[in-house]
Amino acid sequence: MRNPISLSRLFNFFSRARRDQRGVSAVAFAISFAVLTPMALGVFDVYQSTEQRGKLQDALDAAALYAAKSTANDTPTINTIGNKALTANLQLIHGATLSNSAFSLVTNQGDPKVVATAQVTLPAYAPMEYTHLPVSVSSEVTRAGNNLEVALVLDTTGSMAGTRIANLQSAANQLIDLVVSDTQTPYYSKIAIVPYSNSVNPGTFTTAVRGTPVTAVGSPPQSACIGQPGCTKIQFTSGTGSTRTFSVSNCVSERTGPEAFTDTAYSATSGKVGWVYPPASGNGCIGQTIQPLTSNKTTLHNEIATLTAANSTAGHIGLAWGWYTISPNWAALFPTGSQPAAYGTSHLLKVVILMTDGAFNTAYCNGVISATSSATDGTSGNLSDHQACASPNGNAFAQAAALCNNMKHMANPVIIYTVGFDVSSDASAQSLLANCATDASHVYFPADDGHSLQLAFQQIASDLNRLRISK
């Protein structure tokens, strides 16, 4: 503990010496006083400067670290946060003032850094003894960070009609604005959007992942188009025993076979995605197409604006496509700027956000919605519009659970958040969401109205920003 020099003790010493009238000591004192007093005061100034420098450096280091730990991504916001922290922590000696301080975010080389400077002006007790410069210190905190690739998987089924779809659009738009940074260097943040209902519409990517349909000839069509997908039309036996013929759509269903629940690249050998032959009226192909990864907020907001509510629920298909949009195994499908980075890339987080408002009730058999095969599957729409066969992958909830499990248990696991919008009365949906999420902190059940849905998405965005700027 340092013992500061007391000005009162110093002046008391010289006062006692001045009163000493013993001969030559008075003369000696006069000379000493003239010489030593400025020196003593100068020593005090040096002590104060050293003391204040330590206090200023400690406060500036703490403020720079606090600013670096924030989610701010621009210098003005960093400066505001840093200065508030500095003011709160700085201890000034008597008569000293903080003359200036500045915090900036430097991102043009390597990991971003918060660079801070500050100056304190001190009182001068011996102004003639030496030049009194302000106490100046600096601090620098390297800000580690992560790139973000986020798939936003959104339920746009018929039960989302009315205010629910509007609430979802509002919540999703807020999440986009909070997560996608205006500054994409040195770390980027991208979002893909996967709307789903009874299927997923890949848009211009459909033929690549599914194949080109063969033209069905004749009525009824030739045998190659009976009971098996791959033609422009399919003839099948419905759940009620009638013979039906449906036309192919641009939508896709789940993969089957050994790669049904993986993100292995689509190919003729590893398994393309399934076809969708919807009824001529009702429960048709979802109109909204997927949006691959992008950091363009306008593009993302425009995609959200297209969302409309219709059809039944195949959440497992939406979930699979959420995985595909951030999987490097599917990178070749997408434009260069939308291609996901490789698993294991340094400073990279891959995230899927699954939102639903209820039961997954739609699975497929040979490109047509399957017959009733569980408490939920095959219960949507008219049974005469369904295949007589059950889904070879199991029911939709089981398929979703398998996908979640595989995403979470890879060598480089995907982080999964789940949002249940008014699912308090649906035990099956609650169970799926709880088990699908990375852990209990990534589950957001209580979104029972538009306001709570927005809060859930805001909480996810806050968590993602915390992960994006790791320390």
Long-range contacts of 389-393 (CB under 8 A, 24+ apart): 389/365, 390/363, 390/365, 391/254, 391/363, 391/364, 391/365, 392/256, 392/365, 393/254, 393/256, 393/260, 393/261, 393/363
Alpha helices in 70-201 (DSSP H): 75-89, 163-179
Q: What is the DSSP letter of 162?
A: T
Q: How far is CA 195 from CA 124, 208, 246, 287, 289, in A?
A: 69, 19, 23, 9, 7
Q: For residues 44 and 93, state if they share a domain.
A: yes
Q: For residues 369 and 410, state if they share a domain.
A: yes
As a whole number of angstroms, the distance between CA 73 and CA 148 comes to: 14
As a whole number of angstroms, the distance between CA 384 and CA 52 comes to: 84
| Residues 448 and 422: beta-carbon distance below 8 Å | yes
pLDDT (tens, 9 = 90+) of the chain, 471 residues, equals 444 445 455 455 555 555 555 555 554 444 454 444 454 444 545 667 888 888 999 999 999 988 988 878 889 999 999 999 999 999 998 888 999 999 999 877 667 889 999 999 988 655 555 556 788 999 998 877 899 999 999 999 999 999 999 999 999 999 999 999 888 877 899 999 999 999 999 999 999 999 999 999 888 788 889 999 999 999 999 989 999 999 999 999 999 999 999 999 998 777 899 999 999 888 999 999 999 999 999 999 999 999 999 999 999 999 999 999 999 999 999 999 999 999 999 999 999 999 999 889 999 999 999 986 555 665 677 888 999 998 999 999 999 999 999 999 999 999 999 999 999 888 889 999 999 999 998 998 888 899 999 999 999 998 998 887 664
Q: For residues 151 and 121, state if they share a domain.
A: no
pLDDT of amino acid 15: 57
| Residues 314 and 255: beta-carbon distance below 8 Å | no
Q: For residues 266 and 409, state if they share a domain.
A: yes
pLDDT of amino acid 245: 95
Q: For residues 89 and 176, state if they share a domain.
A: no
Closest CA to 198 of 393, 378, 445, 352: 378
Q: Where among 142, 163, 189 does a domain terminate? A: 142
As a whole number of angstroms, the distance between CA 259 and CA 269 comes to: 10
Return the CATH number at 162. Answer: 3.40.50.410
Q: For residues 183 and 125, state if they share a domain.
A: no
Q: For residues 251 and 270, state if they share a domain.
A: yes
Q: For residues 377 and 404, state if they share a domain.
A: yes
- What are the DSSP calls for 18-34, one per residue? HH--STHHHHHHHHHHH
Q: How far is CA 8 from CA 5, 13, 31, 264, 341, in A?
A: 9, 9, 21, 81, 69
Range of the domain at 198: 147-468
Closest CA to 294 of 178, 149, 195, 174: 149
- Those residues with Cβ within 8 angstroms of residue 246's Cβ, 6 or more apart along the chain or in another chain: 233, 234, 236, 277, 278, 279, 280, 368
pLDDT of amino acid 2: 45
Number of domains in the chain: 2
| Residues 272 and 306: beta-carbon distance below 8 Å | no
Q: Is residue 81 in some structural domain?
A: yes
Q: Is residue 1 in some structural domain?
A: no
pLDDT of amino acid 132: 62
Q: Is residue 2 in some structural domain?
A: no
Q: For residues 315 and 375, state if they share a domain.
A: yes
Closest CA to 355 of 209, 188, 164, 148: 164
Q: Is residue 324 in some structural domain?
A: yes
Q: What is the pTM of this model?
A: 0.79
| Residues 367 and 251: beta-carbon distance below 8 Å | no
Q: For residues 190 and 73, state if they share a domain.
A: no
- What are the DSSP calls for 244-269, one per residue? EEEE--S-EE---STTTTS-PPP-TT
Q: How many Cα neighbours within 13 Å face the side chain of 366?
A: 21
- Those residues with Cβ within 8 angstroms of residue 437's Cβ, 6 or more apart along the chain or in another chain: 416, 417, 418, 443
Q: For residues 135 and 156, state if they share a domain.
A: no
Could you tell me the sign of the dihedral formed by the alpha carbons of 391, 393, 397, 399, in that order? negative
Q: Where among 88, 120, 142 does a domain terminate? A: 142
Q: Where among 109, 142, 175 does a domain terminate? A: 142
| Residues 345 and 143: beta-carbon distance below 8 Å | no
- Cβ atoms < 10 Å from Cβ of 220: 12
Q: What is the separation of C-alpha 235 from the centre of its chain, rounded to a whole number of angstroms?
A: 45
Q: For residues 178 and 110, state if they share a domain.
A: no
Q: What are phi and psi of 363, to 5 degrees?
A: -130, 175
- What are the DSSP calls for 333-387, one per residue? GS-GGGPPPPTT-TTEEEEEEEEESS-----EETTEEPPP-SSSTT-SS-GGGSB
Q: Is residue 114 in some structural domain?
A: yes
| Residues 367 and 360: beta-carbon distance below 8 Å | no
| Residues 200 and 362: beta-carbon distance below 8 Å | no
Q: What is the largest CA-CA distance in the chain?
A: 136
Closest CA to 396 of 426, 351, 432: 432
At position 350, the amino acid (one-letter code) is K
As a whole number of angstroms, the distance between CA 43 and CA 327 comes to: 67
Angle (CA) 385 391 393, round 5°? 155
Q: Is residue 112 in some structural domain?
A: yes
Q: What is the separation of C-alpha 434 from the centre of its chain, rounded to a whole number of angstroms?
A: 20
Q: Is residue 318 in some structural domain?
A: yes
pLDDT of amino acid 93: 87
